Amino acid sequence: MNVLGCNNITFTNFNAIAPANSPNTDGIHIGRSTGVNITNSIFATGDDCISLGDGSKQVNVFNVKCGPGHGISVGSLGKYPEEEPVQDFSVKNCIINNTDNGVRIKTWPDTPGATTVTGMHFENIEMINVRNPIIIDQEYCPWNQCTKEVLH
């Protein structure tokens, strides 16, 4: 589900389930929205349980179960010029189970502009069978589609 350009919206007891091997199945992707609350929900997908794109502000995730999937992500950011900042993201009292990642921030290399991420708060998150609990990836490049040259 995409939540784009929304203000002051709440998802409670919301479940998004897709096969673990299904690509591009974010549970909820939020972009350019303010005041999004996700509570008491379950996300079992083949991609991010919850992802934030540019312009996401005041997003709260409480009492959510995530897994399988890629975890809870901010980004990817920085692929396009003039992206808006991500601000005030809180994840609290969540269980992340059988995922590739726990919580992560992912930005593209050689970004055409600057995108800031501020006010991140992660509290009381239980991770079970999570390959990478915390990742800050500043050279995110899915499917090798980046133009950054590697220097040897």
pLDDT tens for each residue of 4-59: 888 999 999 999 999 999 988 999 999 999 999 999 999 999 999 999 999 999 99
What is the pLDDT at residue 112?
74
Residues forming the active site? 47, 70
Mean pLDDT within 100-126: 91
> How much is the pLDDT for 149?
54
- Domains, the chain: 2-144 (2.160.20.10)
What's the pLDDT score for residue 152? 42
Question: Which pLDDT belongs to residue 16?
Answer: 95
On the question of pLDDT at 151 being above 50, the answer is no
Give the residue carrying structure tokens 């991770």.
127
Q: Are 49 and 67 in contact (CB under 8 A)?
A: yes
Neighbours of 96 (CB within 10 A): 25
- Provide the residue type at 134 as one letter: I
